[in-house]
């Protein structure tokens, strides 16, 4: 399970690391890159602070794309999860899910990825029923058979 979680982190943070290429003012992208590097060094509180600042900047940017905002929020959710702060991670994941569903559609594989991340948060916080429901929805999107 730890290997899966670490792999998910690297995937999510790796995707977020490329966000700066899409913005005219990439100061939020630079902060995101710093947060990725800090998280890889295990400096989660400092990484969280950098991601929070990146989120403030990107939300104030006219050039920001909603999926870029979702990427930063997803990274923040992962960082909070890594610190076992599931109550802080959950609202970000729900916002990411809403953004992705609106832009990509409810059956997109990126939606399934976010659902899987949300299921991990539910499972880690002892909300098994919620986790099972979300996992089934992700599996349905990916065409997988539930366990």
What is the rounded CA–CA span in Å between residue 47 and residue 118?
20
pTM of this structure: 0.79
What is the rounded CA–CA span in Å between residue 84 and residue 80?
6
- For the stretch 74-114, pLDDT in tens is 999 999 999 999 999 999 999 999 999 999 999 999 999 99
């Amino acid at each position: 399970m730890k290997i899966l979680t670490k792999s998910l982190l690297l995937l999510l943070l790796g995707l977020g690391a490329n966000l700066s290429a899409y913005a005219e003012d990439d100061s939020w992208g630079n902060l995101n890159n710093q947060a990725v590097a800090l998280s890889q060094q295990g400096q989660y509180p400092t990484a969280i602070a950098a991601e929070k600042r990146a989120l403030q900047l990107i939300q104030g940017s006219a050039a920001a794309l909603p999926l870029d905002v979702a990427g930063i929020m997803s990274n923040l959710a992962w960082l909070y999860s890594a610190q076992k702060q599931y109550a802080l991670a959950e609202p970000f994941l729900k916002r990411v899910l809403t953004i992705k569903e609106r832009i990509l559609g409810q059956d997109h594989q990126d939606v399934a990825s976010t659902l899987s991340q949300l299921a991990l948060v539910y499972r880690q916080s002892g909300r098994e029923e919620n986790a099972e429901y979300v996992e089934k929805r992700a599996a349905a999107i990916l065409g997988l058979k539930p366990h």
